[in-house]
């Protein structure tokens, strides 16, 4: 019994020593202004408290920038990190010039996504993978999915009147059905769709989980759900290669273009592991952010009647120009300038991804602060989007801010540089189509006033934005 007590005591003391050692900043970081907060937990509690407020981490960042400047150190979410903001910092971190930074995923994200994910590649390997998967997500590549997205938006909205609608839940289902159909031709309903959605929800919830990979933990469940998702993909890939089925979708294009028996060079081929890891990457990247963006657009439009009226006029004019009651067309999607500004202004105010996490791959200097190789660096996007020098009265919803081109790196709604969101065109297409049918057919009002935000990596309304919908 005594031996067991001693053994447990040693484990506890070792864990405490490890955590204290991890919390202490390296001596080189002493020159960086800032405060690491409490031992081990750092400033995590105040960070999360601010994160859940309507302004998000903006007030957390602003207080520290006023005290320390544009570059400061902190300890949040188990990481010693250097926060930096401003257009110059954005240029350095997002262009990755001369390979000075790399993406810095949390442990759980690395475990779930797989080693060959686009998000885990750097340098030439990243460029190659991005090139291979980019074509189906191009504007021309998306045309063949337009009619499905259009029909699904109409069918989804048909179910809204006469009941309480949780916009975030509906947007999540809509975007996931779109991605499922694009990737592997999943029908909007049916057993395969349900399995697909159930596994994806578990995977998505595991990304910000504790780094504990044992049965019963969120991370463990996420990895198991990923394995089930990969089993579905393995079955589909096998059938496609053996000509048991053929579909014109994202998976088919990758199999056809990059399969091993083509005449393409080795540099233009993907292994099955790369196929699966990057299909999952596109699922994750294309679902959460688009879901949140669509939810915020609907919320901000209701809260800003003048913007809603002008946007509705744009869409009613488009609808009125058609003959014989025809539906939305591909060419009309490219004729929604004010709606595009509304989307941009939504992404600016909501700042769905409040920071971009990177790791220094080389030593470099910014604003007089020397950054060392291996340090965790977070680009504070919220402060860039709320800079009054670029966006006067930054908390006001004003789509006219985008009437004129902005300075480079002052708006990062879809990121920038070589890691700009690869699904940017798909996200815009989904939102434009859905908003068109919503404003042409319905008016809506919220069932409760709650501006608090879910404390997750992707910012979204805590209450999922419940509304009641009525025909115009």
List the chain pLDDT tens, one digit each, 472 residues: 444 333 344 344 334 444 444 445 566 678 899 988 888 788 988 888 887 777 778 889 999 999 999 999 999 877 889 999 999 999 988 887 657 888 888 788 888 888 888 888 877 787 888 887 777 678 888 898 999 999 999 999 999 999 999 999 999 999 999 988 888 888 878 888 888 889 988 988 888 787 888 898 999 999 999 999 999 989 888 888 887 777 778 888 777 765 555 555 556 677 888 888 888 888 887 788 999 999 999 999 999 999 999 999 999 999 999 877 778 999 999 999 999 999 999 999 999 989 898 988 889 888 888 898 888 999 999 999 999 999 999 999 999 999 999 999 999 998 887 777 777 889 999 999 999 999 999 999 999 988 888 877 888 999 999 999 999 9
CA nearest to 188, candidates 199, 178, 198, 203 = 178
Q: Which of 459, 305, 314, 304 is nearest to 396 (CA)?
A: 304
pLDDT at 15: 44
The helix (H) or strand (E) run that includes residue 91 is helix 87-95
H/E element, 272 = helix 272-303
Angle in degrees, CA 303, 309, 312, rounded to 5? 115
Tell how far CA 302 is from the center of its chain. 24
- Residue 261 is predicted with a pLDDT of 54
- Helix 167-184 with 218-241: angle, nearest 10 deg: 40
Sign of CA dihedral 409, 415, 418, 419: positive
pLDDT at 259: 59
- Token reading at 82: 């250097």
**CB of 345 closer than 8 Å to CB of 310:** no
Instruction: Quote the CA–CA distance of 312 and 166 in Å, as a whole number.
Output: 22
- Residue spans of the domains in the chain: they are 28-471
* Residue 389 CB neighbours (<10 A): 8
- Residue 442, SS3? strand
The C-alpha angle with vertex 11 and arms to 6 and 15, in degrees rounded to 5, equals: 145
Chain centroid offset of residue 284 CA: 7
> What is the pLDDT at residue 305?
97
The conformational region for residue 114 under phi > 0 = left, psi -120 to 50 = alpha, else beta, is left
Residues 358/372, Cβ–Cβ less than 8 Å: no
Strands in 466-471's sheet, in edge-to-edge order, are 164-166, 466-471, 442-446
pLDDT score at 31? 86
Q: Of 378, 376, 381, whose CA–CA distance to 352 is shortest?
A: 381
Q: Which residues pair with 379 in a beta bridge?
A: 84, 356
Helix (H) or strand (E) holding 366: strand 364-366
Give me the sheet containing 376-380, strands edge to edge.
Answer: 71-76, 79-84, 376-380, 355-360, 101-103
What count of other Cβ atoms lies within 10 Å of the Cβ of residue 373? Answer: 11
Is 440 annotated as a binding-site member? Answer: no
Tokens, residue 306: 């003048």
Between helix 424-441 and helix 272-303 the angle, nearest 10°, is: 40
State the Cα–Cα distance between residues 205 and 219, nearest whole angstrom.
Answer: 9
CB proximity list for 419: less than 8 A, separation 6 or greater:
94, 96, 103, 126
The CATH number of 28-471 is: 1.10.630.10
145: tokens are 């999915």
- Coil, strand or helix at 285: helix
Residue 416 sits at φ, ψ, to 5 deg, of -165, 165
Q: Using CA of residue 210, residue 213, residue 214, residue 215, what is the dihedral sign? A: positive
What stretches of 48-107 adopt beta strand conformation (E)?
71-76, 79-84, 101-103
Q: Which two tokens stand for residue 472?
A: 């115009």
Measure the CA–CA gap between 463 and 258, rounded to whole angstroms.
44
pLDDT at 263: 52
> Would you state the pLDDT for residue 396?
96
Q: What is the pLDDT of residues 386-402, one digit of tens each?
A: 999 999 999 999 999 99
């Amino acid at each position: 019994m005594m031996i067991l007590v001693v053994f447990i005591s040693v484990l506890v003391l070792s864990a405490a020593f490890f955590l204290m050692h991890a919390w202490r900043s390296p001596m080189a970081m002493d020159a960086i202004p800032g405060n690491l907060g409490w031992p081990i937990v750092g400033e995590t509690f105040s960070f999360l408290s601010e994160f859940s407020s309507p302004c998000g981490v903006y007030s957390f960042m602003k207080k520290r920038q006023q005290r320390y400047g544009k570059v400061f150190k902190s300890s949040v979410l188990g990481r010693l990190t250097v926060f930096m903001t401003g257009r110059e910092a954005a240029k350095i971190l997002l262009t990755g010039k001369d390979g000075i930074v790399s993406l810095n995923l949390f442990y759980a994200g690395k475990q779930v996504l797989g080693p060959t994910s686009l998000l885990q590649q750097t340098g030439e390997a990243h460029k190659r993978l991005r090139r291979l998967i980019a074509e189906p997500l191009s504007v021309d590549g998306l045309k063949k999915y337009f009619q499905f997205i259009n029909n699904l938006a109409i069918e989804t909205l048909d179910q809204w009147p006469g009941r309480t609608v949780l916009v975030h839940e509906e947007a999540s289902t809509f975007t996931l059905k779109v991605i499922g159909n694009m990737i592997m031709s999943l029908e909007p309903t049916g057993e395969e769709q349900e399995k697909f959605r159930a596994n994806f929800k578990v995977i998505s919830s595991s990304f910000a989980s504790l780094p504990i990979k044992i049965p019963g933990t969120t991370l463990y469940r996420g990895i198991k759900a990923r394995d089930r998702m990969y089993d579905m993909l393995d079955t589909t890939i096998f059938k496609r290669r053996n000509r048991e089925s053929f579909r014109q979708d994202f998976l088919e294009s990758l199999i056809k273009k990059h399969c091993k028996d083509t005449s393409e060079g080795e540099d233009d081929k993907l292994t099955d592991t790369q196929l699966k890891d990057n299909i999952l990457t596109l699922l994750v990247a294309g679902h959460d952010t688009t879901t949140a963006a669509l939810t915020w657009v609907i919320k901000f439009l209701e809260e800003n009647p003048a913007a809603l009226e002008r946007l509705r006029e744009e869409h009613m004019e488009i609808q009125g120009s058609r003959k014989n009651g025809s539906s939305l067309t591909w060419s009309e999607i490219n004729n929604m300038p004010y709606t595009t500004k509304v989307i941009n202004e939504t992404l600016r105010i909501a700042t769905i991804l409040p920071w971009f996490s990177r790791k220094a791959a080389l030593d470099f200097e910014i604003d007089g602060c020397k950054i060392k190789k291996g340090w965790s660096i977070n680009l504070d996007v919220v402060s860039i989007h709320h800079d009054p020098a670029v966006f006067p009265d930054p908390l006001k919803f004003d789509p006219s801010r985008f009437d004129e081109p902005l300075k480079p790196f002052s708006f990062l709604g879809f990121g920038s540089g070589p890691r700009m969101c690869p699904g940017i065109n798909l996200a815009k297409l989904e939102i434009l189509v859905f908003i068109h049918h919503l404003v042409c057919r319905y008016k809506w009002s919220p069932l409760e006033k709650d501006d608090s935000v879910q404390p997750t990596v992707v910012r979204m309304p805590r209450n999922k934005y419940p509304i009641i919908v009525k025909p115009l």
